[in-house]
Structure 1
Amino acid sequence: MCVPGFRSSSNQDRFITNDGTVCIENVNANCHLDNVCIAANINKTLTKIRSIKEPVALLQEVYRNSVTDLSPTDIIT
């Protein structure tokens, strides 16, 4: 089974481990219209970046290695 927020690539609730099935994140195409969805995604992003020890250094490296100028939105997505 996949963790909450993910579904199997075969759309089966249960599958056999190592059968080639992978878990894919459920993406809400209309999330930008739903405040609850927006808040959930912000919280998920904050949870992911809290573990980064030196976020400024990481962002500077991303910027240096980019071919074109990046907006703040480009960097966090």
Structure 2
Amino acid sequence: ATLCRMKSGSILTGLGDKILRLWSAESCKYMNEYNVPNAKMLVDFDFDENKIVGLTSSQLCIWRRSEP
């Protein structure tokens, strides 16, 4: 299953393939991706303008957002 979250003109999608992808809601273009370490399955995720947070069954992953 794939989930998505939308905030401040950005959409974050993920779960199925262990990669989170950030998209522009305005242009519908791909902006960046974030790989889950150790190929663990994501359980949930959220984000804001500075960071992306992912939760697996055994760890919390935090990525600093970098705009292209």
TM range (shorter): under 0.3
TM-score normalized with structure 1 length? 0.21
Higher relative contact order (CA 8 A, sep 6+): 2
Find the structure with the greater CA-based Rg.
1
Higher strand share: 2
